[in-house]
Chains A and B, each alone.
Chain A
Amino acid sequence: AQSVTQLDSHVSVSEGTPVLLRCNYSSSYSPSLFWYVQHPNKGLQLLLKYTSAATLVKGINGFEAEFKKSETSFHLTKPSAHMSDAAEYFCVVSDTSGTYKYIFGTGTRLKVLA
């Protein structure tokens, strides 16, 4: 079985400062890992995906995430926060065994202060 734990339910940063959203995963199989973002009253958008091709994954809008197998982590970072980054972020794990169940974390709400 797979699961994800998002370590912070809320994160506040000032505009222009770095963003770190933390995610730990558990999976019986080699996992696929994703970050999705949900802006207020909007749908879910894929930010990036880890596919085992590279441990450092670059996504849209300047976000990136690093897969660390030894720490079972997949933290999301961005060097400089923008006001438009304020949203809820979800870490997602899917096993590659063939069932392709996508399990979401509980989410981290990012607040960006002017």
Chain B
Amino acid sequence: NAGVTQTPKFRVLKTGQSMTLLCAQDMNHEYMYWYRQDPGMGLRLIHYSVGEGTTAKGEVPDGYNVSRLKKQNFLLGLESAAPSQTSVYFCASRHRGQFATNEKLFFGSGTQLSVL
């Protein structure tokens, strides 16, 4: 059981380049999330999905697009990267469980992105 897998783990881009971050989960979770983590700002929600074929904006969606064509995959795209998008990106999926006490987020190991 791999859990939540993010690829790539590291990436360096030049301003204006594009890239896609892939998040894959093998736990059959409906809800998936993309966050960015910056020093002193915690994790900020970029976009999220409540199921296959759905996406919604989070707190900081500008400059990013997402797609959820398959239930197990949630893609985060940067069409034209900017230095302000230098960050650590985390993907997460929500485990609902039979009881409310079992609810928790499973996180990937993160992608460190630098935009020069």
Residues from chain B with Cβ under 8 Å of A34 in the complex: 104
Given A90-B43, A106-B42; A53-B35 close (CB under 8 Å): no
Determine the distance from Cα of A44 to Cα of B6 in the docked complex, in whole angstroms. Answer: 14
1/0 per residue, CB under 8 A from A, across B32-70: the answer is 010100001111110010100000101100000000000
**Which residue of chain A is the closest to B43 with respect to CB atoms?**
A104
Q: Is the CB of B58 within 8 A of A105?
A: no
Determine the distance from Cα of A32 to Cα of B105 in the docked complex, in whole angstroms. Answer: 13
**Which residue of chain A is the closest to B57 with respect to CB atoms?**
A101
Q: Is the CB of B48 within 8 A of A101?
A: yes
Residues from chain A with Cβ under 8 Å of B2 in the complex: none
Is A31 an interface position by the 8 A CB rule? Answer: no
Residues from chain A with Cβ under 8 Å of B104 in the complex: 34, 46, 49
Chain B, interface size: which category? 20 to 34
Chain A, interface size: which category? 20 to 34
Q: Is the CB of A104 within 8 A of B35?
A: yes
Is A14 an interface position by the 8 A CB rule? Answer: no
Residues from chain B with Cβ under 8 Å of A6 in the complex: 42
Given A9-B40, A43-B107, A46-B105; A101-B58 close (CB under 8 Å): yes
Partner of A100, one of B31, B40, B59, B101: B31
Determine the distance from Cα of A43 to Cα of B110 in the docked complex, in whole angstroms. Answer: 8
Determine the distance from Cα of A100 to Cα of B104 in the docked complex, in whole angstroms. Answer: 11
Q: Is the CB of A53 within 8 A of B41?
A: no
Q: Is the CB of A51 within 8 A of B44?
A: no
Q: How far is the CB of B12 from chain A (nearest CB, A)?
A: 19
Given A99-B56, A100-B31, A100-B50; A44-B107 close (CB under 8 Å): yes
Q: How far is the CB of A31 from chain B (nearest CB, A)?
A: 12
**Which residue of chain A is the closest to B107 with respect to CB atoms?**
A44
Given A43-B107, A49-B101, A53-B101; A100-B45 close (CB under 8 Å): no
Determine the distance from Cα of A99 to Cα of B108 in the docked complex, in whole angstroms. Answer: 21
Q: Is the CB of A51 within 8 A of B100?
A: yes
Interface residues of A (CB under 8 A from B): 6, 9, 32, 34, 36, 43-44, 46, 49, 51-53, 90, 99-107
